[in-house]
Amino acid sequence: MNDPYVAHQPPQVPYRPPSPPSPPSAIPRVIGILAIIFSVIGLLGTFTLAAGITGILDEKGIPYSALGTFGTWNIIFGILGLALFGLHLTGGILGVKYSRLAPRFITIYALFALAIIAADIAFTATTLPNEVALKLDDQDMARYAIEIIALPWPIIAMSLINTRRAKDACADPARSAVANRVFD
């Protein structure tokens, strides 16, 4: 075995078949399912906050006009809550279907939700008359608590849906086509 070419050959590496491609991220579907559930909870919460004050005012014999600017904000808050519900529900459905628009809708929802939460805290703190607030049995504090509880979800949803894997899963037309066949 004095073949001069044998000594210079690289060592033989055993053949390994290529690994299968990784499955697409489940983040859009999970965010979508949670968004659908939380949109309904958010709608109920919004109308509980908006209508709850009216019920308490009726119990206490306080006219709605005593709320002043806060009463107007309360009505606007209810209308904005309905629009937010629509965005949230649409984003959730698009996420479950792995639509290309899912990250955009969830992001718009999240930014809109954060703006409404900040506006509601600011308007409640500055426009709710003190004499009415004292008679509302800490309803303003309950309103703040609900807003603070609602705060993490838009941040989490926006952060997760905008990851590279989530966007790639939504951009894959084959994945979207399969989801559309299953859910249509």
Residue 163 lies in a domain: yes
Could you give the CA distance from residue 40 to residue 18 in angstroms, rounded to a whole number? Answer: 45
Contact (Cβ atoms closer than 8 angstroms) between residue 85 and residue 44: no
- What's the number of domains the chain is made of? 1
- The confidence band for 50, taking pLDDT boundaries of 50, 70 and 90, is confident
Residue 76 lies in a domain: yes
pLDDT(170) > 50: yes
- The confidence band for 7, taking pLDDT boundaries of 50, 70 and 90, is low
Could you give the CA distance from residue 52 to residue 45 in angstroms, rounded to a whole number? Answer: 10
Residue 10 lies in a domain: no
pLDDT(151) > 60: yes
> Which pLDDT value is given to residue 47?
83
pLDDT(33) > 90: yes
Mean pLDDT (the chain, rounded)? 84
Residue 79 lies in a domain: yes
All residues at 6 or more sequence positions from 96 whose CB lies less than 8 Å from its CB, including other chains: 28, 29, 32, 33, 36, 179, 183
DSSP code of 147? Answer: H
Which stretch of 37-41, 51-55, 133-137, 158-162 has the lowest confidence by average pLDDT? 133-137
Residue 183 lies in a domain: no
Which stretch of 21-35, 84-98, 128-142, 154-168 has the lowest confidence by average pLDDT? 128-142
Place of tokens 């908006």: 50
Q: Averaged over 76-90, what is the pLDDT?
A: 92
Contact (Cβ atoms closer than 8 angstroms) between residue 102 and residue 94: yes
Could you give the CA distance from residue 62 to residue 158 in angstroms, rounded to a whole number? Answer: 41
Residue, of 165 and 133, whose pLDDT is higher: 165
Residue 13 lies in a domain: no
Residue 22 lies in a domain: no
Residue, of 65 and 113, whose pLDDT is higher: 113
Indicate whether this model's pTM tops 0.75. Answer: yes
Domain with 83, as residue range(s), is 27-177
H helix runs in 14-68, sequence order: 27-60
- The confidence band for 184, taking pLDDT boundaries of 50, 70 and 90, is very low
- The confidence band for 96, taking pLDDT boundaries of 50, 70 and 90, is very high
> Which pLDDT value is given to residue 171?
87
Residue 9 lies in a domain: no
Residue, of 49 and 73, whose pLDDT is higher: 73
pLDDT(74) > 60: yes
